[in-house]
Structure formats: structure tokens, C-alpha cells
Amino acid sequence: MKKVLVIAAHPDDEVLGMGGTIAKLVKGGCEVNVLIVTDGSSSQYRDSLDLKKIIEDKKKETWACAQKLGVKNVYYGEQPDMKLDCTPHININKVIEQLVRKLEPDTVFTHFWGDVNMDHQNVYKSTLVAVRPVMGQVVKELYCYRVPSSTEWTPYKADTMFMPNVFVDISAESKQKYAAFAEYATELREYPHPRSILHLKEVDVARGLEVGQGPTETFVLLRKLC
């Protein structure tokens, strides 16, 4: 049985980027855990008197989503959202490294380095540190996933374009993905916003058409040790 860790900067990144793949991995007998590195709210709602409640409500949404996908557990790094570019790199590294040591996953999914969102970029960088291929490293496979409303908004340059080399057919899991994302009531937007369910459906179908299969999620394979 594979042990998979999905690392996300914010609540909802995990389902937007690879909700169908998470469900498919679980159906295939894998143990999947999710790490949300930031609190997802402390900057966006910094002036709210209900900030603590907002953060707790977001955690409830994350767990409700995780249950629909079959995730074993959700872990929280409690770092400030939208501030990872000014958070000591070692703090982010520590959050990821400690969980990798605890769970010993053989497969890790993280953000794409070229995302327009700075938190995503810094989670990617810290993931590379946490799973660097030293002797005894338990992580054998490392992937980047695409997040709508971040990955496609980056400039079309060779160093920031998302060019996938792994295509996962989620035809049997797509409805499960969209139902899971619907648990994020605070993040849902109206079409044609990228964080709308209809947009997700269209993107998944389009990615599948590129390779002759049904709704598809795409990934960049960074490393695979056999």
C-alpha cells in the first residue's frame, strides 16, 4: 500500500488541484494524508473580530472535503496565509519535514513552482528541502499539481509554464471531486471564475481531450526512484 502526502498551501488547493486523483488513490488502496501549511484566513480576514471562528470554520470545511475524498487525516501547519514569502524559510521547512518524518510517505504531491501565488511557490521550495534525496529518504516519488486560479495565471514563459507529463483519468471520480469541493462554501465562486464547479468540470474535460481520455488531472513528475 502506498502512503501519499498531499501538501497544500491553503484549504481547497488540495481538492482543486487533485481531488479526483486523491479519490482514485484511495480507491486503489493507498493511504492519503493532507497537509495544509497555512491557516488560510489570517491575512484575508485580518480585520475581522471573528477571525478565530473563521479559521476553525475553514478547518471544518477542509475535513468535510477530506471525508468525501477518503483522506485518512488532515494536518495543519498554522503558518500565516499570504505571508510565506516573508516567513522564515526554515519555519515552513520544519512543518513539512516533521510530518514527512512522522508519516513516512513514499509519494508526495506539492505545488507547482511557477504558480502566480507566492505561498504556492514557497511551499514548493520547502517541499524540495523536506524531501531532498539524501540516503535513507523515504519519499520515492515527487509530483507537482496544478491549481486553477493560480497556475494558469502565471506568465507564458518556459520557466513558469505548467507542462505536465502525468495524466490521471478521473472519469470515475469526477463527481466525487466536485461534491468534495462544494464543501468549501467560503471558497466557491460563480462561473466563469476558476473556483466554480462548472469551470473545474470544463478544465478537467479539456485536459482529458488533450490525451484522448475522460476528465483528467495533470501533474509534473519531478522524481521517481525505482
DSSP-derived 3-state class of residue 62: helix
Assess whether pLDDT exceeds 80 at residue 19: yes
Query: How many angstroms separate the CA atoms of 109 and 117, rounded?
Result: 17
C-alpha angle 106/123/53, rounded to 5°? 105
Mind listing the pLDDT tens digit for each residue in 24-65?
A: 999 999 999 999 999 987 666 666 668 788 889 999 999 999
pLDDT (average), residues 116-137: 97
Give the per-residue pLDDT at 49.
Answer: 64
pTM to 2 decimal places: 0.96
Domains in the chain, CATH or no CATH each: 3-224 (3.40.50.10320)
Mind listing the pLDDT tens digit for each residue in 60-115?
A: 999 999 999 999 999 999 999 999 999 999 999 999 999 999 999 999 999 999 99
Give the per-residue pLDDT at 48.
Answer: 67
DSSP-derived 3-state class of residue 107: strand
Query: How many angstroms separate the CA atoms of 204 and 226, rounded?
Result: 29
| Rounded percentage of the chain residues whose pLDDT exceeds 90 | 90
